[in-house]
Amino acid sequence: MGRFALAVLLVSGCCAAFGAGAPLSGVYLHPVEYADAPGSAEERAALVDAALDKVAACGFTTLIPYANTSAGRDFWPSGAPETSAGGDWDALGVLAEKARARGLRVMPGFCLLISGHEEPRGILTAHPEWALRAADGKPQGYISPANPAARAWVVAHLRSMVEHIRPDGVMLDYLRYPSQGNIRLDPEGEKMFDSQAPEGETPAARKARFQQFKEDAITALMTELNAMLRETVPGIRTGLYTWGASVASGSPVGQCWPRWVRAGMLDVLNVSGYCYTENYGEKYMEVFETRLRDAAALAREAGGKVELTFALGVVTSHGGVKKPEEIGEYLAVARKAGYDGVAAFAWRTMEKYTDDAARAGWFKLSPAPGDTGK
């Protein structure tokens, strides 16, 4: 298995090199497109071969296949019937093997706490008591990090995947609460929170304590995940997909990632770059740059060494790239903000730009000398 050469280049306190001195140049890929394709295992493998040949032609050096879905489905033989993809075709294993044969690093995306969105699915069908709840008490499709048994399962679930393919890295996703402000904990977590209430607590004080409780619970999970990953695959690189500075403190999603950077638990910070005319009008590129700079500033303040990358959304639910030249524009603005690395989302919509990428060299990345992002 290929391992990262941990050559480190500092950019204002942030590590700019994903491995072997080069920034992360990755592309997300949804295995469902191959796992559910008609035909034999050999025919599905041939589809993977064709896709990865194009991925390599684009200049990407890292494949980011989703190991599971937000609906609670796994793409490797995890042994959990509630999350099984069905059949005996190991989609993630095939992708990892074929990616490495092309010299690509493998950094699976992993959905941690989501399992069905608004309806419990996956493991939550067996353990509804682990689910976060809506204001009316209805279980949601999110695992509660405040529940010790649920946390232990999440850690074991990720361990199963990394033991199976021993990846170069892992990109943590959905390591957060839902964005609704009135979400409730699981019954056990809520009981624990209530038991800690001081006498005479005001509503305002309770609200502040609840926010802290949520952030502490998710940090406990991150701490357990970090310990497991470092022990299971020494040298593994841990990345986090995040919306950036807006969720770093006091947010309903409770994703206090600067704490994790400060503690040395993150190697890659992958900030959402999903800014388009559809959601931000003509100033979308200004919003994009501000988002990246704000996150970079928090990362520097945290004092840890973390590589700054951004998620380039070719087509997302928020909007999409309109022409090939826009990809180069996003990359140029990101580099000016101190982000040398990129993770394109996702291959199905990126594929049509294969020839453009090969010609322009967008994803053949190297650190920008002397660029601080300030």
Is residue 114 a part of any domain in this protein? yes
* pLDDT number for residue 7: 27
- Total domains in the chain come to 1
* Cis peptide, bond prior to residue 346, ω within 30 of zero: yes
Is residue 108 a part of any domain in this protein? yes
What CA–CA distance (Å, rounded) separates 74 from 181? 29
Q: What is the dihedral of CA 15, 18, 23, 29, to 10 degrees?
A: -130
What CA–CA distance (Å, rounded) separates 164 from 170? 13
* pLDDT number for residue 368: 64
Is residue 365 a part of any domain in this protein? no
- Residue numbers of the chain with a pLDDT score lower than 70: 1-21, 86, 368-374
* Tokens encoding 209: 């304590």
Is residue 370 a part of any domain in this protein? no
- Of 123, 115, 118, 117, the residue nearest 83 (C-alpha): 123
* pLDDT number for residue 374: 38
* Tokens encoding 266: 């993150």
What CA–CA distance (Å, rounded) separates 319 from 330? 14
**Angle formed by the axes of helices 148-165 and 91-101, nearest 10°:** 40
Structural domain range at position 301 = 10-360
**Could you identify the residue written with the tokens 């590589």?**
307
What CA–CA distance (Å, rounded) separates 233 from 271? 25
pTM above 0.85, yes or no: yes
Which residues, at least 6 apart from 104, have a Cβ–Cβ distance to it below 8 Å? 52, 55, 56, 60, 61, 62, 63
* pLDDT number for residue 59: 98
Which residues, at least 6 apart from 25, have a Cβ–Cβ distance to it below 8 Å? 18, 59, 60, 61, 62, 341, 342, 363, 364, 365
What CA–CA distance (Å, rounded) separates 308 from 17? 9
Strand 237-242 and strand 169-173: pairing?
parallel
- pLDDT tens string 265-314: 999 999 999 999 999 999 999 999 999 999 999 999 999 799 999 999 99
Is residue 367 a part of any domain in this protein? no
Q: Is 270 exposed, middle or buried (0-12, 13-18, 19+ CB in 10 A)?
A: buried
* pLDDT number for residue 369: 57
Which phi and psi (to 5°) does residue 256 adopt? -80, 65
Is residue 373 a part of any domain in this protein? no
Which phi and psi (to 5°) does residue 197 adopt? -70, 130
* pLDDT number for residue 12: 32
What CA–CA distance (Å, rounded) separates 227 from 155? 10
Q: Residue 317's domain is classified under what CATH number?
A: 3.20.20.80
DSSP assignment of 112-143 equals -SEEEETS--GGGGT-GGGEEE-TTS-EEEEE
* pLDDT number for residue 365: 92
